Every structure is written in C-alpha cells, then in structure tokens.
Amino acid sequence: MAANTMRADAALPVRSRIYRTLYESSGFCSRQTLAQACGVSLPTMYQSLNELMDEGLVRFSGEGRSTGGRRAQGLDIVPDARIAVGMAVTEDQLRLVAVDLRLQELAYRKLPFDLTGSLETHEAALPGIVGDFLSDAGLDRQRVLGVGITIPGILTPDHASVFFAPTLGLRDVPLQELTKDIPYPVRVDNDGSASGHAECFLRGGRQNLAYLSLEDGVGGAVLMAGQPYEGDHARSGEFGHICVEPGGRLCSCGKHGCLEAYCSARRVEESFGVDVETFFRGAEAHDPAYENLLYDMLRHLATAINAIRMTLDCDVVLGGFFSEYLQPWLPVLWQYVLAGNPFAGSADFVQLSLLRRHITPLGAALHFVREFVDSV
C-alpha cells in the first residue's frame, strides 16, 4: 500500500506510527508524506524519526522524482536491523530459515533429524544447530530476535506442551525439554498454524482464509479478517483429520479415512519409497502407478476442500512443500472440486500459497518479526 494513502493509528506514539507506516509502505515515502500519513507536523515527527535512524532502524532510501525543485529523500526501515530464525521439525528432518524484518530469506538449511518418541535426547543438539546455522551464514547473533519452532501436532493452548503429535509419536510432552538451552527467546507453534499466519501476512493480513498445509502430515489454520481463529481448545484447522473415506486407510492418529492418510508426502513414501519431487516427475512422465496415485490423492483432497468451503465459505489456500509441485495439476483438482460442490460456478477459490517454498519455517519466524514491529 502506498505511503500517501496510509493513516497510522493515532493512538500510537509518534515513534511507533512512523515505524509502522514505513514498515507497511510499498511506495516511495518522503518525510512530508510520512508526516501526513502519521497525522503529525514535520517538527513533531523529526525527533522520533532521528531516534529511529540513530538506532539503525530507519534509513534514507534514495531520492524521488524531480518536480522542478530539490528532490525529496525517501525513507524506509532497515530490513536486517533484526533477524528471526524459524525451524520446522518433521519426523525425519529439520528445516531452518533466517529472515529479516521484511521476511526476506537470508539463509536456509535442511538437515536429517529424528524427533520421534523423545525430546530429551535433542535438548543439547538444538542450540548447537542454531549456532552453527547463524555462524555459517555469517549472521550477527546480536540481532536475533528469537527462534520459532513448528511441530506437526496439537499443542496445549499455552504452547508449553505437545498434546498430541501422531507422526512424531509424542503425547503430553513438555516442550521445555526441547527448548530450554536455546539462548534466544523461543516460541513453539503448530506447523499448519504458523504457515497459515505467514500466508495471511503476505496477502495483506485482513481477509478470511483457510490454509491447508500439505507436508509429511496435513494441517492448517483458519484466519478470520486476518486474525487467527483457534477454537475452544486451540485445535482449529486440523484439516488433516477430516474423514474423506469412511473406513478407509489407517491414519497416524489411529482412525481410518483421514485426509492425512490419503494426501501427504508420507503416503507417497509408503507407496513407492521415493520423495515428493521424484513422485511428481514420474506422474508428469505418465508413469501409470504414480499417475493413478496422484489422481486418487487429488480426488480425496477435493473432498476435504469442499468440506472446508461449505463450512467456512472462504478461499482455501494450499501450502507446504507438497504444494510446490501442484501447479500443473491445479486444473485437475479444480475439476474434482467443481464435481463435488453444488454451489460453486468456479473453483478459483482454491489457490496455491504465494510462498510455497520454506513457508513453514518462515511462519515460525514471523511471530518474532511481528512482535518486534509492534514493540517499536
């Protein structure tokens, strides 16, 4: 949104209004347009603006177009003034990402990592993994805001324990055993919820959205007017356990016929012993076995999408690393959705994530970025 169309919250201190206006601006912002957007006079703005520049949070960003006189100097935040780390844990790997305040990726790493069954055995490993990641990327540890961690499972409302993570074999486990030695603030979140919040943030943050995360397992998030709806027990968005085939395949949760049992990377590995990229290459080459499985997955995915659409009446966004390969198959998925939806004239409410690569660890890092922006 262009800076000259923005109006910052007048209840905020001038310093906060300046920073948030610049943070949310996508256009050229001079001192004059900034003062107008913040609803303050230029002299009132200067002191707070100078403080922010002295702290290394705001900088000049170039000159605007000439209107016949002296060109105005632009202003912007300093994106790498602070850094956040996101860590996505699955049953067999760890994905780390470091981002700046604009959520631009600064570094990424994927490691084999087996978290199944126990957390205590990993408490000593994570601090070293985070430290090596930052050092190898040449990132300043003094700028790190915190480390966000996502887990494919249901957490307690206070985010202090894993209530149930079937793919990891964890139930009623305190998370302190995993995080206590990491030398930064830490927040643990559900992987689908973190990804959904990041997707909503990237889309502008004010819409209704159902985010469906397709990875080793299947999860998601519900956003209403940009705000997370967590439900009475912080379990909303558990789309992976919608029943799409009564009495069907056994799911990791112990029930039969769940979406997760039909449309996840784990099913691909169990069926063919290959990774998702190899599977999609085979389907695109018209390998009959791969192609038949993919069509089956898409049909069951369409069943779940229609259940979500009928219930929430909003866009359904597909994310997670499985969705990286869905673009060529989206028309097929739309056909299945339309065939099962008596009200839809179009299936364009089914969309792919804006940022399919690394969105889960990015969503984990987002918590600390938003916290910092809100605190300036």
The rounded distance, in Å, linking the Cα atoms of 306 and 48 is 50
- Give the pLDDT score at 152: 87
End-to-end CA distance of the chain: 20
Q: Does the pLDDT value for residue 256 go beyond 90?
A: yes
Q: Does the pLDDT value for residue 313 go beyond 80?
A: yes
* Confidence class for position 66, pLDDT limits 50, 70, 90: low
The mean of the pLDDT values for the chain is 89
- Give the pLDDT score at 170: 83
* Confidence class for position 150, pLDDT limits 50, 70, 90: very high
Mean pLDDT in residue range 189-210 = 87
Residue 271 burial (CB count, 10 A) = 13
Q: Does the pLDDT value for residue 182 go beyond 70?
A: yes
More confidently predicted of 118 and 33: 33
CA distances from 26 to 33, 102, 132, 151 (A): 13, 11, 34, 33
* Confidence class for position 358, pLDDT limits 50, 70, 90: confident
pLDDT digits (tens, 9 = 90+) for 211-254: 999 988 899 999 999 888 988 888 889 999 999 999 999 998 89
Domains and CATH numbers, the chain: 3-77 (1.10.10.10), 81-196+359-375 (3.30.420.40), 204-352 (3.30.420.40)
The rounded distance, in Å, linking the Cα atoms of 154 and 336 is 30
Q: Does the pLDDT value for residue 284 go beyond 60?
A: yes
Which of these ranges, 158-172, 240-254, 278-292, has the smallest mean pLDDT? 158-172
Global confidence as pTM: 0.81
